[in-house]
Amino acid sequence: MRRKFKSLILAFLVGVLPLSAAAKKSEKPTSADRIVIEKNARRMTLYHSNEVLKTYRVSLGREPVGAKEKQGDHKTPEGHYVIDGRNPNSAYHLSLHISYPNSSQTESAQEQGLSPGGQIMIHGLPNGVPDLGPLQRLYDWTDGCVAVTNSEIDEIWNLVPDGTPVDILP
């Protein structure tokens, strides 16, 4: 009887342990380690260890073609940045700050007697505006930020830690 019981336990362990290991392996990570924003495609992708966690459709600045050069040009910047802060009390439904401008962008703008601008964020809709869902993506409406729906920024807020690299491509 003991022998059958041991055989039964062994069979159970051999059959179940690989399944639980496979289940753990297939669980998605809980945080992103990189963000890539492709302006032409109006797409933002969150990655973890070079695997896609999630992809979002986005709205950009009102002048989406070209890199941001100065304050008020309504362009979304291009380049390599990081998420360097978050604002739960933003004028928009949550916002993650992108580290624009970098030192060369600041220097270039100042050489022209201009301000490079700043306050570039990934954010939801303005507070007090009904959540339009995907309708908000019908046109580019920000001053240079990257906008997603309110439910999407809720998800992004939880997936993206401060310090996450952000690549904004043309």
Q: Which of 151, 155, 146 is nearest to 123 (CA)?
A: 146
pLDDT of the residue at 137:
84
Interval 73-97: pLDDT, tens: 999 999 999 999 999 999 999 999 9
Q: Which residue has the higher pLDDT, 65 or 29?
A: 65
pLDDT of the residue at 40:
97
Indicate if the pLDDT at residue 124 is higher than 70.
yes
Interval 5-41: pLDDT, tens: 445 444 444 554 454 444 445 566 689 999 999 999 9
pLDDT of the residue at 8:
44
Q: Which residue has the tokens 């690549």?
A: 167
Q: Is 120 exposed, middle or buried (0-12, 13-18, 19+ CB in 10 A)?
A: buried
Structure tokens at 126: 């303005």
Give the residue ranges of DSSP H helices in the chain.
2-26, 103-111, 150-159
Percent of the chain with pLDDT over 90: 75
Tell me how far apart the alpha carbons of residues 27 and 22 are, in angstroms, rounded to a whole number: 9
Span 140-144, mean pLDDT? 96
Is residue 134 within 8 A of residue 42, CB to CB? The reply is: no
- Fold category of 29-169 in CATH: L,D-transpeptidase catalytic domain-like (2.40.440)
pLDDT of the residue at 134:
78
Beta strands in the chain, from DSSP E residues, in sequence order: 34-38, 43-48, 51-57, 79-87, 95-98, 121-123, 146-147, 165-169
Four-CA torsion 88, 89, 92, 93, nearest 10 degrees: 50
Structure tokens at 10: 């062994």
- The CA–CA distances, whole Å, from 18 to 7, 13, 25, 54 equal 17, 8, 10, 27
pLDDT of the residue at 3:
53
What mean pLDDT is reported for the chain? 87
Domains of the chain by residue range = 29-169
